[in-house]
Amino acid sequence: MRPSLFEFAGGEPAFQRLATAHHARCLADPELNHPFSKRDGHPMHIERLGFYWAEVLGGPPRFSEQCSDQPSVLRMHAGNGDMSDLGERFERCFAAAMDDAELPADPEFRAAMNAYMHWAVETVALSHPDGAAGVAPSAAMPRWGWDGPLP
């Protein structure tokens, strides 16, 4: 049986490296810099992001148990209006951050991770452009595997 994406990546340390590298890439991007340089964000944003991605991609439920839930994530990213090409920039930063974080270069792994991020951008960042009113209070934490969303 194939390991989860979380296990294949190298576990929690890999996702903390990925979150750190991704955040740095977003700060370096001239368009993504503004939303990522806000000082009003959570002081543990990067660590929590690593927990979130780890949980979604097959790791332990640290984000759900210690940080927050999916409806809160959706509300936090709601109401941004037209994001133009920010989603694509975010995805490119994610793909490059996998190299920075020294995640496996295996083509199937990279394809699954990039497919997840494309889905996540569409689902999290772009699905509620006018505000949080449409966020379902019972939105479940997503789960993602090698072949896409898991039940």
User: What range defines the domain where residue 104 resides?
Assistant: 5-149
Q: What's the pLDDT tens digit per position in 72-89?
A: 776 776 665 555 678 899
How many domains are contained in the chain?
A: 1
C-alpha distances out from residue 26 to 36, 90, 147, Å = 7, 7, 27
Overall pTM surpassing 0.95 (yes/no): no
Q: How confident is the model at residue 32 (pLDDT cuts 50, 70, 90)?
A: confident
- Distance, in Å, from the CA atom of 87 to the CA atom of 151, rounded to the nearest integer, reads 25
Token pair of 14, please? 């890999």
Q: For residues 144 and 116, is the Cβ–Cβ distance under 8 A?
A: yes
**pLDDT tens, residue by residue, 11-29:** 999 999 999 999 999 989 9
Percentages helix, strand, coil for the chain (3-state, rounded to 5) are 60, 5, 40
Give the burial class of 98: count Cβ atoms within 10 A of its Cβ; 0-12 exposed, 13-18 middle, 19 or more buried: buried
Residue that is written with structure tokens 């792994």 in the block: 109
Q: Tell me, what's the pLDDT at 21?
A: 97
What is the structure's pLDDT at 116?
95
Tokens of 141: 């934490």
pLDDT class for 41, splitting at 50, 70, 90? Answer: low
Share of the chain above pLDDT 70, in %: 78
CB atoms under 10 Å from CB of 30, counted, come to: 7
What's the CATH number where 96 sits? 1.10.490.10
Contact partners, residue 127, CB within 8 Å, separation at least 6: 74
Task: Please tell me the predicted confidence (pLDDT) of residue 16.
Answer: 97
